[in-house]
Structure 1
Amino acid sequence: MKFLEYTSLDRINDFLSHLNLGERTMKGCLEAYSCKHTGTDKRLSVSLENELLDCLGRSSDPDSPALAEHLCSRSSRKTLIYLILTLYQMYPDYDFSAVNAHQFFISETRDSFEQIFDSYMSEASKLWVESYGGSSLLEDLYKALDEVVKLSECEIYSYNPDCDADPFLQRGAIWSFNFFFYNRKLKRVVSLCFSCISNLAVDEYLADELGFEEDGEIFDNMDI
């Protein structure tokens, strides 16, 4: 996987890097990648393929026929591998070996994505119009995505990580969403993550940490 630079994505990333709304801070990030494998990707891809096949062989859950059918398709397994490799690129220090296929919701529609975006990013959208005028944040986001991955040809996936193993979940997080726009023809994927952090929770944590450090300094100066 190779990171791709686009000015249109940088503009939105700069805006979403730190939106302080008083008690809350909203953050967002867009990253584009080519799905062409590097040497490391090839080894990891083979490992993931074997794991998925093992999972398929062990799958006997009658309540999950869609998942089993999805894993039976080599094309679907390949897509899932690309998405996991993208996660590794985004968070190189994090281990995604435990990620399961059911954590990716396949074939998200643009309507469902827009509903989530409009509901949770409405304040950010207002600030975008105030800052840049003209088109809405969603419209400019779509223009940027269309430039990189041809939005009309994309499959949209959402990723729902386990709470105990969520690299997106920061201290004080109120909510977070993770989407992937994948173009099979171009072999290119764009990740979109946006979240909301409680400034109050972060401030309390920093205050606790400062208090702990000060207590430590006091005890350091005491004779035992």
Structure 2
Amino acid sequence: MKFLQEPGMEAINAALNFETPECKVYGRVEPYSCKAAGADKKLYKQIEVKYDPSSLMSPPDDDSIRSIISPFGPMNQPASRRTLFYLIGTLNASFPDYDFSDTKPEQFRKEPSVKIVVNSINATLFNHGKERAIKDLALWDWIDQVIDLEESDVYSYNPESDSDPNDEEGGGTLWSFNYFFFNRKLKKIIYFTMRAVSYGAPAEEDDDDETNNFNTDDDDEEGGVGHRRRKTDDTEDDDFVAGEMEMQF
């Protein structure tokens, strides 16, 4: 997945980070192209081996794969596996110190409509008295220009308690959400996440990193968030450039 630097994004992300009398709120919107980078090659192969019934290394029972709970459709279908690949790849890109390749299809949910998600996010911001991103910075106009909301599906990520990237080791998270606005035609995803952290929680190491960790190459084994740490010696695909890898879908 290739991160897209879009004009106006920094101001919006700054407005999504604020303090209230009860908590600190950290939010960010990140656009990605679905073009595969080098690190995605291994992930794609892992998903194909796990869910493709034609793979020699996959379980021979096609019905067992078909019956897997998935918001994308039957996992024996290439389109379903491709969607899972895109969403996990986005998480890996957004939390670069961790590996989400074991994330299960059932940990995602397809939302009923874009409108419901938009209203939910708006309500969250208005309830905290922080509507600047919506009113002054035209958050939804910006997202629509990047991804075309009418043509997009929305998925949410609902991690298990021990694999929540927003609440590692009981980080004091009061609430959080993870939404993926996915336009299949444009092959773009906008990852929109927010979390509220109680004042009693451990302080963030660097608040600036909270809105910019998609640009870091930090290999510090003590940093980052996520449910499984990447191996620091896994550099096999590091030389691949986003968009240059040909993948058969």
TM-score by length of 1: 0.76
2:81 and 2:26 mapped to 1: Cα distance?
31
Shift of residue 58, structure 1, vs aligned partner? 7.6
Check 1:102–1:120 CA distance in 2 against 1; reply closer, same or farther (3 A cut): same
Deviations 1:63-121 (A, max 9, x none): 86666943132112101101100111011211212200001102441233134324432
CA contact under 8 A between 2:71 and 2:109: conserved in structure 1? no
- Kindly report which structure 2 residues correspond to 1:30-45, keeping only aligned pairs within 5 A, or say none: 30-45=29-44
Which residue among 109, 115, 124 is the counterpart of 2:113? 109
Partner of 2:246: none
Shift of residue 4, structure 1, vs aligned partner? 0.4
Partner of 2:183: 183
Higher relative contact order (CA 8 A, sep 6+): 2
1:77 and 1:114 mapped to 2: Cα distance?
26
1:79 and 1:64 mapped to 2: Cα distance?
15
Deviations 1:124-144 (A, max 9, x none): 4x3334xx8xx637x822111
Partner of 1:11: 11
Shift of residue 163, structure 1, vs aligned partner? 0.8
Which residue among 131, 138, 153 is the counterpart of 1:140? 138
Check 1:66–1:29 CA distance in 2 against 1; reply closer, same or farther (3 A cut): closer
Shift of residue 152, structure 1, vs aligned partner? 1.0
1:31 and 1:167 mapped to 2: Cα distance?
16
1:55 and 1:105 mapped to 2: Cα distance?
25
Segments of 5+ residues of structure 1 without an aligned counterpart are 204-224
Shift of residue 39, structure 1, vs aligned partner? 2.5
1:177 and 1:48 mapped to 2: Cα distance?
25
Partner of 1:222: none
2:11 and 2:72 mapped to 1: Cα distance?
40
TM-score by length of 2: 0.69
2:142 and 2:96 mapped to 1: Cα distance?
25
Which residue among 153, 157, 160 is the counterpart of 1:159? 157
The structure in which a higher percent of residues are helix is 1
Determine which structure has more spread, i.e. the larger CA radius of gyration. 1
